[in-house]
C-alpha cells in the first residue's frame, strides 16, 4: 500500500506492507536510525517518537496509521544546526551513558516541556516513567530535562554566539 507520512516536517511517500510498524518504517525505509528498537513489547520506550506532539511507542503504531499525522524523531529536534534545549541539556548534564534510551527520553522530554515549561522533578520522573534506562539511574536524565526547562533558548543563543564569533 502507498503511505504518506510527514516526518520532521517533510512529506515522505513510500510503498509499504500494511503490517509494517512505524519504528521499522522510520529506521528501515526512511533510514532515520535515531529511533531505536528495543524490546518489541512496548515496555522499554526506546522507540518513542512524537506523533502530533505526543509521545508514542513506535513499535506499537502501524506506519499506515501515521498517515496524516506529523511524526517527529530525534533527528527532527535539531533545527538548522542548532540543538534543541533538551539535546543541549543532555550534553550539559551528561544525561546519557550508553545512549540507547536517549532518543526516546529526549522526545518525551520535549513533549513534557511543550506542555509544561517548568516541570517539577516529580513531574519529570512521571513523564519518563514509561521508559527504561539501564545505565544511569535517571538522576542525570532528570537533571538534563531540568536544565532544558531552565534554559529554553540556550541552545539557540549558543549557536548565534558561535555564528557571530566566526570570521
pLDDT per residue as tens digits for the range 66-110: 999 999 999 999 999 999 999 999 999 999 889 999 999 999 999
Task: List the Cα angle 28/33/74 in 5-degree steps.
Answer: 130
Cell of 158: 549558543
Q: Does some domain include residue 166?
A: no
Residues 6, 50, single domain; the answer is yes
Structural domain total, the chain = 2
Q: Which of 159, 136, 57 is nearest to 104 (CA)?
A: 57
Tell me which of 76, 107, 138 is where a domain ends.
76
Q: What is the DSSP letter of 165?
A: H
Q: Which domain holds residue 95?
A: 85-161
Q: What is the CATH number of the domain that holds 103?
A: 1.10.150.120
With contact defined as beta carbons under 8 Å apart, do 141 and 95 qualify?
yes
From 39, 59, 76, the end of a domain falls on 76
Q: Is 167 helix (H, G, I), strand (E, B) or coil?
A: coil
End-to-end CA gap in the chain: 51
Task: Indicate the average pLDDT of the chain.
Answer: 91
Asked whether residue 47 is assigned to any structural domain, the reply reads yes
Amino acid at each position: 500500500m502507498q503511505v504518506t507520512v510527514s516526518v520532521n516536517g517533510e512529506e515522505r511517500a513510500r510503498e509499504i506492507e500494511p503490517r509494517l510498524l512505524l519504528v521499522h518504517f522510520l529506521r528501515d525505509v526512511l533510514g532515520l536510525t535515531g529511533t531505536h528498537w528495543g524490546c518489541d513489547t512496548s515496555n522499554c520506550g526506546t522507540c518513542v517518537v512524537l506523533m502530533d506532539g505526543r509521545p508514542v511507542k513506535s513499535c506499537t503504531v502501524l506506519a499506515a496509521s501515521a498517515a496524516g499525522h506529523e511524526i517527529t524523531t530525534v533527528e527532527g529536534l535539531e533545527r538548522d544546526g542548532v540543538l534543541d534545549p533538551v539535546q543541549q541539556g543532555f550534553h550539559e548534564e551528561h544525561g546519557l551513558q550508553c545512549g540507547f534510551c536517549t532518543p526516546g527520553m529526549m522526545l518525551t522530554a520535549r513533549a513534557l516541556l511543550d506542555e509544561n515549561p517548568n516541570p517539577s522533578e516529580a513531574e519529570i520522573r512521571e513523564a519518563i516513567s514509561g521508559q527504561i534506562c539501564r545505565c544511569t539511574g535517571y538522576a542525570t536524565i532528570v537533571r538534563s530535562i531540568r536544565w532544558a526547562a531552565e534554559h529554553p533558548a540556550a541552545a539557540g543563543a549558543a549557536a548565534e554566539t558561535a555564528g557571530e564569533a566566526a570570521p
